[in-house]
Homo-oligomer: A and B are copies of this chain.
Amino acid sequence: MGRVSSSESNVDVHRQLAAFSNYLKRKGLKITNQRLLVAEKIFSLQSHFTVDTLAEELKERRNEISRATIYRIVTVMVEAGLLTEHNFGQNARYFEYIPRQEHHDHIICNDCGRIDEFVHDGIEQIQLQIAEQHGYDLSEHSLNLYGSCQELRKKGTCSRRVVRENRV
């Protein structure tokens, strides 16, 4: 249930990389191999990630980059407005590439950690009203729904769990 038809083409990735390069140039920052590799991985991922998962994936493709550097690059990309940071749990910092300013909120599965996305115009508007009523100038918001997806209920198992008699 991500974006319309996923399969980000290479053309898109290249365009996004070019945009990132332009940003770097404009800011007087250097276009390094590490920055391009990390950005490319993020653009082609098309989903949420942590610095840790990113580091693992890069390592598998023989493009190992130190976590310190990845943290620094991700920070630059957040400043560039290319990445958004999420607070899904207390001990994980998730980032997500959001093409063309497409906003959305998330539903996270308590069983398997799966993350789905949604947008609801009604909710978006109500939020603006609420902020106004409380005297706030709304700049952003974070709406996360937590629950269990169908997988565990239907199959009896999912990537993380098995249905047991005594659910905790």
Query: Measuring CB to CB, which residues of chain A are less than 8 angstroms from any residue of chain B?
Result: 1, 85, 87-90, 93, 107, 109-110, 116, 118, 120, 122-123, 126-127, 130-131, 133-150, 153
| A147–B143 touching, CB < 8 Å | no
A2 CB to closest chain B CB, in angstroms?
Answer: 12
Q: Which of B85, B88, B138, B144 contacts A147 (CB 8 A)?
A: B138
A130 CB to closest chain B CB, in angstroms?
Answer: 5
Q: Which residue among A85, A90, A93 has the maximum number of chain B CB atoms within 10 Å of its CB?
A: A90
**Interfacial chain B residues near A148, Cβ < 8 Å:** 136-137, 139
Given contacts A89-B87, A90-B93, A123-B123, contact A139 B147 (CB under 8 A): yes
| A136–B149 touching, CB < 8 Å | yes
A74 CB to closest chain B CB, in angstroms?
Answer: 13
| A141–B143 touching, CB < 8 Å | yes
**Interfacial chain B residues near A109, Cβ < 8 Å:** 136
Pick 24 A–B contacts, CB within 8 A, sort by A: A85-B90, A87-B87, A87-B88, A87-B89, A87-B90, A107-B134, A107-B136, A116-B136, A120-B126, A120-B130, A122-B126, A123-B123, A131-B147, A134-B149, A135-B149, A136-B147, A138-B146, A138-B147, A139-B148, A140-B146, A140-B147, A141-B145, A142-B142, A143-B144
